[in-house]
Amino acid sequence: MSGQQAPCSDPKARDFDFWVGEWDLTWPGEQTGGEEGSQGRGVNRVSKKFGDCVIEENFSTSDGRFFGHSVSVYDSNAGIWRQTWVDSSGSYLSFTGEFDGEKLTLRTEPVEREDGEVAVNRMVFSEISDSSLKWDWQGSKDGGSTWVDLWNISYTRAN
């Protein structure tokens, strides 16, 4: 086996390492059904698994009403990140995307609806620092030409 690259040795497989850790989360409460002016809170525990090849996420709201889990991996053959998300509402979502050096964007495949709209969702990790980042969940009804913010979460690294 000499001469073969180690699994996940592509430098791009480290692009998502900024997310690893324990995070305290806040967002405008009305984005998730709360009263206007309220603040939603949650936690996210993100770790590396399987020889540091997989990023595993465990998300929960502080009120215990919503839980989610994702696994992400860099697909070196395709040159993209892949993520699978499942949650306590029964959702299953599949994303692909990439890191451009400043932000990581993952999006779903476009789906044409009966009314002719082409729906697609994306998440954007931006304003990334060692202690914080911004996460935006956005939707598009025109195949990704225009985007609307649906959920904006501020991440602060837990102490």
Tens-digit pLDDT profile for residues 67-115: 999 999 999 999 999 999 999 999 999 999 999 999 999 999 999 989 9
Q: How far is CA 82 from the centre of its chain?
A: 10
Region for residue 129 given its phi and psi (left: phi exceeds 0; alpha: psi -120 to 50; beta: otherwise): beta
User: What pTM does this model have?
Assistant: 0.91
Check: CB of residue 155 under 8 Å from CB of residue 132: yes
Between 108 and 116, residue with greater pLDDT: 108
Helix (H, G, I), strand (E, B) or coil at 31: helix
Residue 40: predicted pLDDT: 94
Residue type, 86: V
| Fold of the 15-157 domain | Lipocalin (2.40.128)
pLDDT band at 4 (very low <50, low <70, confident <90, very high): low
3 band by pLDDT with thresholds 50, 70 and 90: low
d(CA 72, CA 150): 22
pLDDT digits (tens, 9 = 90+) for 123-154: 999 999 999 999 999 999 999 999 999 999 99
The predicted structure's pLDDT at residue 1: 45
Mean pLDDT of 30-59: 92
